[in-house]
Amino acid sequence: KNQVEQSPQSLIILEGKNCTLQCNYTVSPFSNLRWYKQDTGRGPVSLTIMTFSENTKSNGRYTATLDADTKQSSLHITASQLSDSASYICVVSEDSNSGYALNFGKGTSLLVTP
């Protein structure tokens, strides 16, 4: 079963507009949550990491939030650019007895159009 659900599955927005991507998880015990950006034909690249005690973190025009109580995270993109067109993947790290396990969401595909 997938413990990380992302929505929407795909999204099309106009250049300059804002958007918000959602990640809901059931992973427990929680260690941290990362958002990755994957450009077409490339490997994913880490955008930001959220730990249990962090509510919000920004990386340029990307702002991630975390609500550990409701087990929800969001990635907000401000003033979108054509280069933001990519897949965004949420990865939740599980702190288990055998070490740390990574749980991947299926990603949100974002297309920014002129």
Partner 1 sequence: EAQVTQNPRYLITVTGKKLTVTCSQNMNHEYMSWYRQDPGLGLRQIYYSMNVEVTDKGDVPEGYKVSRKEKRNFPLILESPSPNQTSLYFCASSFRVGIHNSPLHFGNGTRLTVT
Q: Which is nearer to partner 1, 34 or 71 (CB)?
A: 34
CA–CA distance, 63 with 46 (Å, rounded to integer): 13
Question: Shortest approach of partner 1 to residue 15 CB, angstroms?
Answer: 26
Question: Shortest approach of partner 1 to residue 106 CB, angstroms?
Answer: 3
Question: Shortest approach of partner 1 to residue 94 CB, angstroms?
Answer: 9
Q: Which is nearer to partner 1, 18 or 96 (CB)?
A: 96
Block residue for tokens 């950006």: 37
CA–CA distance, 35 with 58 (Å, rounded to integer): 12
Reading the block at residue 31, the tokens are 């260690």
Question: Shortest approach of partner 1 to residue 86 CB, angstroms?
Answer: 13
Q: Which is nearer to partner 1, 40 or 114 (CB)?
A: 40
Q: Which is nearer to partner 1, 57 or 76 (CB)?
A: 57
DSSP string, 26-68: --SSEEEEEEEEE-TTS--EEEEEEETT-SEEEETTEEEEEET
Element housing 21 (H / E): strand 19-25
Residues that bind partner 1 (CB under 8 A): 31-32, 34, 36, 41-46, 49, 51, 89, 91, 93, 95, 99-100, 102, 104-107
